[in-house]
Amino acid sequence: MNLTTYITGVQHVGIPTTKLDETIAYYQALGFEVAGKFPNGESTCVFLRFANLTLEVWTVDSTPNSTGAINHFALNTTDINKAFEAAKELNLNFVEGAVQHIPTFWDQGIAYFNVLGPNGETIEFCQIL
C-alpha cells in the first residue's frame, strides 16, 4: 500500500497564537480571508486562506514567538483509514497511535493522525469529512 495514493497536497499550516484577533487582522491585511472559525473547548481555531495556502491558527496559553513557531503542516488526505494503514506499514513515528476526530470542524468534522518527522516536526494527515 502506497501512502501517497491518499494524499492530494498540503492542506494547511498550523500556527498557535496568544493573540487571535491580532493574528487574524495581520493575515487579513496580507490578503487572507477567514475560511472558518471554530470554538474547540477552551480554544478557538480559525482557518485563514489566501490562494492555495491555508493557515490554521488557534489560541494557546503561550507560544515560542520566534523562528520555529509553526506547530505543524497538514497533508490533505482522501481516505484517512487507508492512509493510516499505509503509514503503519512505513513504521512512522505516530503521536497518538490512532485516527483522531474533531466533529465540530467544518460541516461534518475532520479525521486526522499525526506523525513526527526526522527533526521532531509534526506532520498531520487530515481528511475533512
Q: Where are the domains of the chain?
A: 9-72, 77-129
C-alpha closest to that of 109 among 34, 54, 40: 40
Q: What is the DSSP string of 29-85?
A: HTT-EEEEEEEETTEEEEEEEETTEEEEEEE-S----STT---EEEEEES-HHHHHH
DSSP code of residue 119: T
Fold for 9-72, please state it: 2,3-Dihydroxybiphenyl 1,2-Dioxygenase; domain 1 (3.10.180)
Q: How many angstroms separate the CA atoms of 81 and 56, rounded?
A: 23
Tens digit of pLDDT for each residue in 39-91?
988 899 999 999 999 999 999 998 888 878 889 999 999 999 999 999 999 99
pLDDT for 1 beyond 90: no
Kindly report the CA angle at 79 between 78 and 80, in degrees rounded to 5?
115
Tens digit of pLDDT for each residue in 9-51?
999 999 999 999 999 999 999 999 999 999 988 899 999 999 9
The amino acid that residue 117 corresponds to is G
Per-residue pLDDT, 10:
95
88-to-51, 99, 116, 121 alpha-carbon distances in Å: 33, 12, 13, 18
